[in-house]
């Protein structure tokens, strides 16, 4: 896998417009955490604060050292103008004492240099460890002393509820380790990935916390200071925060990041279906079946091995055309309807080789179930 090596550069201009928050399977470091907010010492220290203020103060004190600033630089050679340097900036999250940093792939994709600045102002050149285009996640590495690295503590995003209070820490507009707060506005949102050619990232957390350029790769935290997501995007026409931000949940990070650290990439199961078409099949009784018509199968792929049928190329009057009359129509995978191709890939992308999935297929006037073991 390709690796990028980044010399030490500190870039002052900022150019990245979105935020993502992710979590990874890293040991908790309880020794770095302050006392719980109901402890006598903490309450005495901030006795003048309202209880809700003590919560936000503690979250920041607990977690701000775990969020880093990432400065990047791209260099272009432009005719007539010569060499042009384009700076960028984003955020990252400390994963462990070994120097692994979690961020969004779009923060560091195709850059010539990246520098990580810690809470103490010290900066270190970064190297790429692994990336995943589908989830827009990346892990980079810095050679920093363990005593200045404060790994984040992870939470369980599968237990989140709409209306919960959350906090975001990042580096909007280069303003390091900025805290904003808000609510979980919705769950299980989806939006196109910036790094995967239009494929969608699913299961996103929607929040109304202020997210701005430079927040990408920063932390989304619950009221206990646990990482529940990585801020990845905002919905905005102007490029500024309109109170609609999105974060990749920690359950996705926990699945992806260990593979990035160990292998540099993510291993996913391959079903062997190369091309589908979104159609609605009209039935003789007036019913309609929306699904994915299989146009092309990979030769000797998993789907072909299990007997799934694609279209055929036939010659008519010297020309080739696709005959879809005998092609299977996929109605669902693992019980999840497949009205769009993205519905199908979202399920398959979460599987690993040797996993078995069951497809609901319409064939010759009836619905059958076809189990497929992924390659």
pLDDT by residue (tens digit) across 225-236?
Answer: 999 999 887 655
Does 240 score more than 60 pLDDT? no
Active site residue 216: yes
| Domain edge (last residue) among 216, 248, 266 | 266
**Does one domain contain both 194 and 123?**
yes
Active site residue 85: no
**Does one domain contain both 129 and 234?**
yes
**Does one domain contain both 80 and 38?**
yes
**Does one domain contain both 142 and 287?**
no
pLDDT digits (tens, 9 = 90+) for 191-219: 777 776 667 777 889 988 877 777 888 89
Looking at per-residue confidence, does 36 or 67 come out higher?
Answer: 67
Which of the following is catalytic: 136, 208, 222, 343? 136
**Does one domain contain both 39 and 187?**
yes
| Domain edge (last residue) among 222, 250, 266 | 266
Domain assignment of residue 218, given as a range: 1-266
Looking at per-residue confidence, does 45 or 241 come out higher?
Answer: 45
Q: How confident is the model at residue 6 (pLDDT cuts 50, 70, 90)?
A: very low
Q: What pLDDT is stored for residue 236 in this prediction? A: 53
**Does one domain contain both 260 and 278?**
no
pLDDT digits (tens, 9 = 90+) for 289-323: 899 999 988 888 899 999 999 888 777 777 877 78
Does 21 score more than 50 pLDDT? no
Which of the following is catalytic: 37, 91, 96, 106? 106
pLDDT digits (tens, 9 = 90+) for 87-134: 888 899 999 999 999 999 989 888 888 899 999 999 999 999 999 988
Does 158 score more than 90 pLDDT? no
Q: Mean of the pLDDT values across residues 269-293? A: 88
Q: How far apart are CA 326 and CA 146, in angstroms?
A: 62
pLDDT digits (tens, 9 = 90+) for 321-370: 778 888 899 999 999 998 888 788 878 888 888 989 999 999 988 999 99
Active site residue 136: yes
Q: How many domains does the chain have?
A: 2
pLDDT digits (tens, 9 = 90+) for 69-92: 999 888 877 666 667 777 888 899
Q: What pLDDT is stored for residue 375 in this prediction? A: 84
Q: How confident is the model at residue 4 (pLDDT cuts 50, 70, 90)?
A: very low
For residue 168, give both structure tokens.
Answer: 């975001």
**Does one domain contain both 234 and 334?**
no
Q: Counting beta carbons within 10 angstroms of the beta carbon of residue 269, is it exposed (0 to 12), middle (13 to 18) or buried (19 or more)? A: buried
Q: CA quadruple 236, 240, 244, 249: dihedral positive or negative?
A: positive
Q: Among 105, 129, 103, which residue's Cα sits nearest to residue 117?
A: 103
Does 288 score more than 80 pLDDT? yes
**Does one domain contain both 157 and 249?**
yes
**Does one domain contain both 211 and 287?**
no
| Domain edge (last residue) among 234, 266, 298 | 266
**Does one domain contain both 279 and 251?**
no
Does 2 score more than 80 pLDDT? no
Q: What is the CATH number of the domain that holds 288?
A: 2.30.42.10
Q: What is the CATH number of the domain that holds 161?
A: 2.40.10.120
Which of the following is catalytic: 56, 66, 200, 216? 216
The radius of gyration computed from the CA coordinates of the chain, to the nearest angstrom, equals 24
**Does one domain contain both 251 and 289?**
no
**Does one domain contain both 195 and 331?**
no
For residue 332, give both structure tokens.
Answer: 């669902």
């Amino acid at each position: 896998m390709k690796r990028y090596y980044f010399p030490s550069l500190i870039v002052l201009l900022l150019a990245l417009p979105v935020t993502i928050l992710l979590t990874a399977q890293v040991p908790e470091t309880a020794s770095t955490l302050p006392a719980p907010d109901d402890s006598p010492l903490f309450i005495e220290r901030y006795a003048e604060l309202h209880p809700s203020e003590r919560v936000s103060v503690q979250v920041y004190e607990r977690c701000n050292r775990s969020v880093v600033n990432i400065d990047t630089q791209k260099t272009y050679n432009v005719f007539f103008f010569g060499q042009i340097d384009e700076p960028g900036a984003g955020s990252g999250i400390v994963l462990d004492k070994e120097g692994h940093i979690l961020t969004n792939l779009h923060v560091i994709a195709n850059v010539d240099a990246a520098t990580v600045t810690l809470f103490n102002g010290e900066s270190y050149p970064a190297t790429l460890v692994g990336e995943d285009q589908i989830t827009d996640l990346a892990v980079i590495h810095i050679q920093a002393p363990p005593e200045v690295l404060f790994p984040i503590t992870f939470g369980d995003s599968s237990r989140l509820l709409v209306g919960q209070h959350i906090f975001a820490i990042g580096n909007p507009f280069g303003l390091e380790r900025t805290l904003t707060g808000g609510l979980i506005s919705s769950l299980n949102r989806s939006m196109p990935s910036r790094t995967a050619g239009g494929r969608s990232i699913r299961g996103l957390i929607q929040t109304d916390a202020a997210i701005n350029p430079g927040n990408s790769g920063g932390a989304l935290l619950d009221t206990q200071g646990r990482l529940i997501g990585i801020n990845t995007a905002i919905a905005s026409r102007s490029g500024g925060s309109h109170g609609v931000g999105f974060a990749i949940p920690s359950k996705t990070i926990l699945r992806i990041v260990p593979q990035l650290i160990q292998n540099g990439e993510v291993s996913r199961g391959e079903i062997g279906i190369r091309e589908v078409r979104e159609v609605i099949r009209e039935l003789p009784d007036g019913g309609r079946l929306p699904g994915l018509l299989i146009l092309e199968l990979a030769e000797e792929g998993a789907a072909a091995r299990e007997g799934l049928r694609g279209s055929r190329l036939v010659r008519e009057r010297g020309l080739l055309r696709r005959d879809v009359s005998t092609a299977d129509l996929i109605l669902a995978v693992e019980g999840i309807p497949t009205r769009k191709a993205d519905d199908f890939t979202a399920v398959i992308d979460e599987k690993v080789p040797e996993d078995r999935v069951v497809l609901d297929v319409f064939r010759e006037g009836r619905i059958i179930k076809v189990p497929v073991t992924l390659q």
